[in-house]
Amino acid sequence: MAEQTLHHEHDQHYDENQIQVLEGLEAVRKRPGMYIGSTSARGLHHLVYEIVDNSIDEALAGACSVITVTLEKDGSVSVQDDGRGIPTQMHHKMGIPTPEVVFTVLHAGGKFGGEGYTFSGGLHGVGASVVNALSEWLIYDDARDGKHYTEKFVRGKVAEPYTCAGETERHGLYVRFLPDAQIFETLQFDYNVLLTRLREQAFLNAGVRIVLRDDRGEETVEDDLCYEGGIRNFVSFHNENKHCEVLHPDVIYMRADREDSVAEVALQYTDSYNSTLLTFANNIHTAEGGTHETGFKTSLANVINTYARAKNILKDSDKDFTTDDVLEGVTAIVSVKLREAQFEGQTKAKLGNSEMRTFVYGMVKEKLTEYFDENPVVARSIIDKALAASRAREAARKAREIARRKSPLESGALPGKLWDCHEKRVEVTELFLVEGNSAGGSAKDGRDSRFQAILPLRGKVLNVEKSRLDKIYANTQLIPIIQSLGCGIGEDFDIKKLRYGKIIIMADADVDGSHISILLLTFFYRHMPKLIEEGHVYLAQPPLYKVFKGEKEIRYAFSDEERDLYIKELGGEKVEAERYKGLGEMDPPQLWETTMDPEHRTILRVEIEDAIQCDQIFSVLMGESVEPRREFIEKNAKFAENLDV
C-alpha cells in the first residue's frame, strides 16, 4: 500500500514543469562526469589534457613548436603555445567574439570539416568550453595578427568582457584556469601524472617541445620534453625503463604517407615473455585497439611467417606462427594520423576507420620485408624468438589439457580447498585470496557465507614475469585461483564467466605479505588484465595494531599515527598496543570486524591509471635484474613505511 501511495504522489507531480532545459554550460556543471569521466583526480587532470590537446592540434597543423604547461602557486594551471591563436573576429552566426564562442559554446571548434586542421584528436568541440564550465575562473590571452585579446570567465560566464589588450609580437594562445572546488573532489595536481601524459605527447609528435613547470614549491621543478626521434625514442624509453635485454640494438622504424593519412610504426624485440603494444590515432591512445592495430598484427605475422618459410626455418609440415607467437617480447608503437578519425564509443578507445587496416597492413608488409632482407641476422633473432614462443605455446596447450583432465578447468569443477559462498549473482559476491591456512580458517569462520568465498594460499606463488603459460598450468598455487574465478586465462579468458564481482587479496601487513600481493597482481596484470581494468581486483587492509584498555575498550589502528591517537584517546597507564604479526593472530570475529565486514572495512581497488608505467614497474620488480629492483626500492623508500597502511 505504501508503495502504491508513493507512485501516486510521483505521478501527481510529474508535469511540464519537471522538464528542465539546461542552457549554455549548465549541463556540464550539472553532469561533469559525462564530459570528463569523473570529478576525481583523473577528471581534474583531464582538464589540462583538453587544453594541451588543442595546442597539440596546432602542432599537427605545423603551426606550433613549443607548449608550456605551468602549475601555478595559487593552484591554477596555465598552458601557453606559440600557435596561430584563435580567430579574433566576431563570429558570423553567434554574434559574439570567436574566442568567446570557443570557451562558452559546446560543440564549437575548427575541426568539423573546415580547412583549419588536417589532423585532430579533438573532434567533439567540447574541450575548451568544458574546462571553462568546470573552473572557478578562467582567463585567456589570444595573440594573433600583431594584437592580443583577453577575457575572463567565472564558472563559465563572462566576468571581464572581451578586450583588445594592445599590440604584441607574440602569437599563440595562453589559457589559465583554476578548477572549481564545488565540482572536484581534489584540486591537487600530480606533477608525475601530467609528466607521463605530456612525455607521451612529445614522443608522438617528433620535434615538438613540451615544457612542464611546477612553481608551487620553494624551487621550480621543470622537465623539457622534445624527441627528434619521435616514436623510436618512445620504444627505447620504454625498454630502458623495463630493464630488459634487447635482441637487436636498433629500433625498427617505418612510415608511410598518403593524401590525408600518415602511419608510423616503431618496434624492438626483447628477451621478455610479455609484449607491449601501444596504438594511437591522432595522438589519442586507443586502449582497445582498432583497425590500425589489426592491420599491424596481421601484417607482422604474415611477414615473419613468409620469411621463415622462404628461409626454410619453418618446414612444410610446421604450422604458421600465431599472432601471439610473433608478438612475444616485442615493444611496438603504432601511430596513425588521419583527417576524419572515426572512434567507436565516447571514450575514443577504439579506431573504426576500415581503410587504416589495409593502409597499415600494406606499409608493414612492404617495409618490414625490405628490412628483413637487408638485416638477416636481426630477422633470424626475431624468428628464433617466435619459434621459442611457439614451442612454449604448444607445451602450454598440452599442460592445459593435462590440468583439465586432472582438475578439469573447463568442467566448472572447483578446487577442494575453496570455501564457496551461497550467492550466485556476480555483482554481490566476493572471493578472498588469503595468505596461509591459519588465516584462511579464521576468514572462513568469520565471513558472511552468503556472499563471501575463501581460498587459502599456502606456499610460494609463481612469478609469472619469468614464466610462460606451460609453467602456470603446472603451478599448484595458481591453478586453484584459475578454477575458482572460472574465467580462464590467456586465449581462454572470458570475463563473462567470472564467478565473483570482487577479488580481494588478503595478505599479512609485512614484507612477505607485500611480496605475495605483488606476485598475484603480476599474475592478474599479465594474464587477466581485464579483471583490473574493469575494477574487480582489491587489496584488503588489515589493521596493524590492537589498542585496548581492559577487555571492553578496544580500537584497531591501521598506522602508527592512528595507534598513537587511540592510545591518547583511551588515556591512562593501562592502555596497551599490540602489533599483529599476521592475519592468523586474529580470531574470526576480529577478522570480520576489521578486514571483511563491508560496513567497516577498508579495501583498495587496484587501478591501471597508466598501462605503460604499470608494465615498467612489474618488469622491474619481478624481472631477472637485481640492480634495477634495488634502485626502484631505494628511490621509493619513502613509501615503504606506508606500505601496510
Catalytic residues: 435, 508, 510, 512
By CB neighbour count within 10 A (0-12 exposed, 13-18 middle, 19+ buried), where does 258 fall?
exposed
Cα separation, 515 vs 524, whole angstroms? 14
Pairing of strands 330-338, 276-281: parallel
Which of 409-414's residues contact partners 24+ apart within 8 Å by CB, and which partners? 409/479, 409/482, 409/483, 409/488, 412/486, 413/483, 414/483, 414/484
3-state secondary structure 575-618: CEEEECCCHHHCCHHHHHHHHHCCCCCCEEECCCCCHHHHHHHH
Cα separation, 63 vs 85, whole angstroms? 10
Q: Between helices 511-527 and 611-622, what is the axis angle to 10°?
A: 130
Cα separation, 277 vs 334, whole angstroms? 8
Pairing of strands 545-549, 576-579: antiparallel
Which residue's entry shows cell 623510436?
Answer: 232
Backbone dihedral angles phi then psi of residue 22, each to the nearest 5 degrees: -90, 120
Residues 130, 36 contacting (CB under 8 angstroms) = yes
CA 584 vs. chain centroid, Å, equals: 35
Which string of DSSP letters, residue by residue, matches 50-102?
Answer: HHHHHHHHHHHTT---EEEEEE-TTS-EEEEE-S-----SBPTTTSSBHHHHH
Q: Which of 623, 612, 627 is nearest to 235 (CA)?
A: 612
Residues 540, 506 contacting (CB under 8 angstroms) = yes
Residues 488, 497 contacting (CB under 8 angstroms) = yes
Residues 45, 189 contacting (CB under 8 angstroms) = yes
Residues 327, 398 contacting (CB under 8 angstroms) = no
